Each structure stands twice: as structure tokens, then as C-alpha cells.
């Protein structure tokens, strides 16, 4: 499942806990706290490019991305 794979990849790069939230329509939102390590943050860009939408809140330093997945996808296989 793409969302879980991306979450594991980002956690491995940043060392930050990645939270997943289920979206209406079957996708997931992944979000994690920016650790201000420029190299680690830059290393997440290839993973973020696989998402459908992404963003960053400068006020809370939360990085997020959304991944559209089929509604019948249920967890890692």
C-alpha cells in the first residue's frame, strides 16, 4: 500500500513519527513535524513527488502529503 510505504520511507529519512489519517474517498494524509534538518527534508522530496498533494505549515512546522488510494485498500499487505 503506497501510503504505508511512503510513511516508512519518510520516517527512515527524517527520524520523525509519521501519522496517517484516512481521507474521505479512500486516500490518506501523512503528516510529520519538520526537524529543520535541510538535508533530511530535501531527501523527502522524491517521496513527496509520489503524492497527489503536499504542503507545509510554517506556523506549526508540519509537513503533510495526501495519497489517493482505492477505497477498498485496507492496510499493509
pLDDT in tens, 13-35: 888 899 999 998 789 999 999 87
pLDDT of 11 reads 92
Q: What would the pLDDT profile of 31-76 be if each residue is shown by its tens digit?
A: 999 877 777 788 888 888 888 999 988 888 899 999 987 655 455 5
Four-residue CA torsion sign, 4, 41, 33, 22: negative
Query: Is the pLDDT at 77 greater than 80, yes or no?
Result: no
- Give which of 3, 68, 64 is closest to 31, Cα–Cα: 64
Confirm whether pTM is higher than 0.95: no
Amino acid at each position: 500500500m503506497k501510503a504505508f510505504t511512503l510513511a516508512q520511507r519518510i520516517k527512515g529519512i527524517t527520524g520523525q513519527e509519521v501519522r496517517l489519517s484516512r481521507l474521505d474517498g479512500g486516500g490518506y494524509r501523512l503528516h510529520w513535524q519538520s526537524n529543520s534538518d535541510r538535508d533530511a527534508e530535501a531527501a523527502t522530496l522524491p517521496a513527496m513527488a509520489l503524492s497527489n498533494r503536499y504542503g507545509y505549515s510554517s506556523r506549526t512546522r508540519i509537513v503533510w502529503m495526501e495519497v489517493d488510494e482505492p477505497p477498498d485498500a485496507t492496510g499493509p499487505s
